[in-house]
Structure 1
Amino acid sequence: MRVVVGRIGRAHGIRGDLSVDPRTDEPEKRFAPGSSVLCRDRVLTVAAVRPHSGKLLVTFDEVPDRTAAEQLHGAVLEVEVDPADVPDEDDAFYDHQLVGLRVLVDGTERGTVLEVLHLPAHDSLLLAVDGRRVQVPFVEAIVPDVDLAAGTLTVLDRPGLLNPEEADEAR
């Protein structure tokens, strides 16, 4: 099973270094020198990594120069994980663990998680709620509880979050 661990930003310098926005709670594990990641249709091996302005600067063996690095701008980096594996941190989840969870709002089941969206600012959840597809930021202020054992995820409703018509009424 593939898990998203980062998104490639701009090339940095002339040697092929890449700015990577980590999308994992385990960047030290996923981007350790010698580890491999999947990028589009190829495998990239981490040669070196260092922190830089809140992101990582990563050098891959297969990216020899800036020209090669620029071709990877915007690419998603993934790794293969065993479906039974779980992240080390208690409040971290793999996408496949979240997809299919029942969505609870005020204790009532209202839908299911369809997909995890890895957006530039933060991750979001695409939900099927009351027959509509709704995108919800996957942040603790809106999604305070994920209970994998129960198969549920709690969403705190805000005016307009789950029902766009309510946003107009709240004004």
Structure 2
Amino acid sequence: MQVVIGRIGRAHGIRGELNVDIRTDEPERRFAAGSSVICGDRKLTVATARHHSGRLVVSFKEIADRTAAEGLHGKVLEAEIDPVETPDDPDEFYDHQLVGLEARSGDAVVGTVTGIVHGPYQDTLTIKIDGREVFVPFVTALIPEVSVSGGFVTINEIEGLLDPDKAERDD
């Protein structure tokens, strides 16, 4: 199984280094020298990884120069994981662990988690409710409980969150 760990940004310098937008809570593990990542249909080996001006700069053994690096701009980086593997932090989850969970509000099952949208500042759960998709920010204030073993997430219902037709309006 593959999980997204980053997106390649612009080339850095002339030796094939790349800026990487991190999409994992374990960058030290996923971008450790010698580790393998998947970039499209290619497997790349991390040569070095360092932080520079608040960004992760990574070089891969297979990318020798700036021209080769520029060809990877915008590509997604993934890591191969065992499907039963879980993140070290109990408050972190892989996407595949969340998709399919029941979405509950109080004691009622209101829908099913169908996906996760990874934004630059926070993630958002996509929940199918009565045939339509609703987007709920994946923050503790709105999703206070995630039970992968129990098969559900709990949503703190606020007016209009799960049913946009009931949202307050300043008309």
* TM-score where L is the length of structure 2: 0.90
- Residue 76 of structure 2 corresponds to which residue in structure 1? 76
How far off is 1:144 after superposition? Answer: 1.9
Do the aligned partners of 1:87 and 1:93 also contact (CA within 8 Å) in 2? Answer: yes
* AA matched with 1:158: I
- Residue 9 of structure 1 corresponds to which residue in structure 2? 9
- Residue 136 of structure 2 corresponds to which residue in structure 1? 136
How far off is 1:33 after superposition? Answer: 0.3
Structure 2 vs 1, CA of residues 26 and 102 (structure 1 numbering), >3 Å: closer, same or farther? same
Separation in structure 1 between the aligned mates of residue 54 and residue 152 of structure 2, nearest angstrom: 32
* AA matched with 1:4: V
Structure 2 vs 1, CA of residues 51 and 36 (structure 1 numbering), >3 Å: closer, same or farther? same
Separation in structure 2 between the aligned mates of residue 58 and residue 26 of structure 1, nearest angstrom: 15
- Residue 95 of structure 1 corresponds to which residue in structure 2? 95
Identical pairs, percent: 58
Separation in structure 2 between the aligned mates of residue 95 and residue 37 of structure 1, nearest angstrom: 18
Count of residues in Structure 1 that have an aligned counterpart in Structure 2: 170
Q: How does 1:23-102 map to 2 (within 5 A)?
A: 23-102=23-102
Q: Deviations over 1:70-92 (max 9, x none)?
A: 22122111111111111111111
* AA matched with 2:136: V
* AA matched with 1:165: D
* TM-score where L is the length of structure 1: 0.90
Separation in structure 2 between the aligned mates of residue 159 and residue 29 of structure 1, nearest angstrom: 41
Structure 2 vs 1, CA of residues 82 and 136 (structure 1 numbering), >3 Å: closer, same or farther? same
Q: Deviations over 1:61-108 (max 9, x none)?
A: 112222222221221111111111111111111111111000012332
Separation in structure 1 between the aligned mates of residue 122 and residue 74 of structure 2, nearest angstrom: 15
Do the aligned partners of 1:6 and 1:22 also contact (CA within 8 Å) in 2? Answer: yes
Which secondary structure state, in structure 1, belongs to the residue aligned with residue 69 of structure 2?
Answer: helix
Q: Deviations over 1:119-147 (max 9, x none)?
A: 33332221102321122222223222111
Question: RMSD of aligned C-alpha atoms?
Answer: 1.6
* AA matched with 1:149: S
Q: Structure 1: 5+ residue runs without aligned partners?
A: none
- Match status 1:118 vs 2:118: yes
Structure 2 vs 1, CA of residues 130 and 61 (structure 1 numbering), >3 Å: closer, same or farther? same
How far off is 1:152 after superposition? Answer: 0.6
Structure 2 vs 1, CA of residues 70 and 166 (structure 1 numbering), >3 Å: closer, same or farther? farther
Structure 2 vs 1, CA of residues 162 and 83 (structure 1 numbering), >3 Å: closer, same or farther? same
Do the aligned partners of 1:15 and 1:65 also contact (CA within 8 Å) in 2? Answer: yes
Q: How does 1:156-167 map to 2 (within 5 A)?
A: 156-167=156-167
